Structure 1
Amino acid sequence: MSENGAITRLLQRASAGEIDAERELLPLVYAELRRVAARQLAGERSGHTLSPTALVHEAYLRLANDATAAPADRRQFFALAARRMRQVLIDHARARDAAKRGGAQREAVTLSALQSEDTAGEVDLLALDQALQQLEQADPRKARIVELRYFAGLEMIDIAELLGISRATAQRDWEVARTFLFQQLA
């Protein structure tokens, strides 16, 4: 059985309440979770207090403790994990702001995955979260595509399949969402 099939089988067993399945799942997904975490932390300021390992562990704990999260397959699992990582980073940024007088210091994250190859810049992580929330209110599918592409690092073909839309529609939504975010963050 392929690794993807094994992950899906373990996810199904875990959602059925088998505790052994969760223990068997972590070694299979850990390296990919660390890659997603490293990607999310790559644009953060230097000296960030969260390491990829810490981010993976915190996100995995949140995912494991969420009874409503029952991913059916590997893609859904990594999409949910990326969302939990984003939540951990947002919570971390909020806590850091609360610790500062007036909360003026914010963590910056690059939008290199959202930008064209010839542009560069940084954006406030809390501002990005707020812009994503606005996008989600206007168009939940576009916000989901940003999460899956930017935070989870999924390819358009995987996003399209996960959302049950064509690759062309996913690509169009990605372009519109990217433009919306740039406007909100400008």
Structure 2
Amino acid sequence: MRQKNKKNSYKYIAFEGIDKSGKTTIAEKFADYLSIEYPVFLTKEPGAKSGVFRDLLLSQRWNKKTELFLFLADRADGVELIKKRLTEGIVISDRSLYSTLAYQGYGEGIDIDFLTELNRFATDNLFPDVVFLIDIDLDTMKKRSSQADAIESKSIEFFKRVREGYLRLADRFDNFFVIDGTKTIEKVFNQVVDIWNSL
């Protein structure tokens, strides 16, 4: 993670977490917050550039290799747009390459180092500067679940591995900040803002 000399040298911010963690809501609120001071571009994965890959990934179940390469294709398709936006302001992304490490790596058992190299290739070595991991337990995820897409409908054991993987990534990378997503939206958001202002 690169060292910053001033606040806006951290320009690529990702929100991560298992499904139903609330990361999408918090990412949107944080984008609104930063837009008072900076040009802000909010994006999401899958679907940073096109809805084609998102529709494919969420509408049906794929084997784990096909799923992986669909996510990588989506990420490679969107990276040029993200890089362009980074020259104009701050990019806030609902998910990033770390989702692949957590879901396809720890969740599906694909080698983490192999996935990291694939993502380096897909993104031209573009990694988020700051990652907010909105962490919830599995009971909370189940309580918040209603209709589930192809990813969300995977087993509870799968999501247990994904959550554990995220926490291992947070221990490994110093640009990760873990936030308790079981709190109210306002409390979660305020913690994100407090961390951001302390950087």
TM-score range for the pair, normalised by the shorter chain length:
0.3 to 0.5
Instruction: Name the TM-score, length of structure 2 as normaliser.
Output: 0.31
| More strand by percentage | 2
| More helix by percentage | 1
Instruction: Name the TM-score, length of structure 1 as normaliser.
Output: 0.32
* Bigger Rg, structure 1 or 2: 1
